[in-house]
Amino acid sequence: MIPVETTFLMIKPDGVQRGLIGKVISRIEEKGLRPVAMKMLWIDEETASEHYAEHKGKNFYEPLIEYITSGPVVTMALKGDSAISIVRKLVGDTDPKEAPPGTIRGDFGIEISRNIVHAADSEKSAKRELDIFFDEEHFQDYSRVEEEWIYE
């Protein structure tokens, strides 16, 4: 049985500023994943520090916090079978220079510090990141009519 998962995706300030919100969401929906929570916000320094806590002390931490708080982002909870691994494949390698064409980062990014999106890399990360950005009441559980044509 393939696990139905909920994962976290963020369109970062460069993706928002470049007008890529619709393109990112389209790729997710066209793949067959279902957004179940979404919001646009300007992340404050405290939330950014919580989100990127595992990078604290690394040489790129301070520039990362400055960047992620520099403009609005779009945060999403995405649901579907194997959602975590599927989203990771859709977004591509962290470094856009290494990301294959056809992935979000491969098609729209050039520099690692401006790579359009963040995606949870594991169940543990997805849960932690979803808890940072969403309360239980933000989630909408629904099914789409085409799901019978996507899943067995």
How many Å from the N-terminal Cα to the C-terminal Cα in the chain? 10
Known active-site residue 55: no
Q: Which one is catalytic: 51, 55, 118, 138? A: 118
| The token pair that represents 11 in the structure block | 């369109």
Give residues with Cβ within 8 angstroms of 8, minimum separation 6: 75, 76, 77, 78, 118, 119, 120, 125, 126, 129, 130, 133
Known catalytic residues?
Answer: 118
